[in-house]
A and B are shown apart, each in its own frame.
Chain A
């Protein structure tokens, strides 16, 4: 089955700097890769996703890149703001309709 590894587990960046979170997956049949953000005490919410037929997708300050050959994908947040502080989860979904998540990255935005 699918296995998703996520790094780093904790990331601290100065406000205004960029943050990058990286994930790898094991199942070459996986074709959908979402990113969820979970603020403290809240439910996870989708912030961006990418399909396997696309190499990059951007939404304002957030972008995701996918390298199918290497089986890794990354989340990029530019011009970080205090409200970006949260836990971020990457996920992979294959034809079995299971979304398997990584262990999460706790992002701290430092003033």
Chain B
């Protein structure tokens, strides 16, 4: 079946970086965009950006530009998101989500990856 499987929870110190992976299966990886959405208690659901797995093109929300990078490895149908210069308010559950085009709806979501930023 179509699914996105994310890497496990992470605990990081302020100022560090974190990379979350998202492995796609059950569909043609290059045919759908991968988006990243995070969920915090205070800010709710926040869209962070998208990546086209075929071209590698990306687009980031202004809030995260310069601090987030989205990449992929098509040979293993896996997308990655890296966030640098982590702060305590980056503590959140990070989701990858599939879309057809962008901006668009998100029809398939990963299970989420909890990232805790604490000293």
Question: Are A and B part of the same complex?
Answer: no
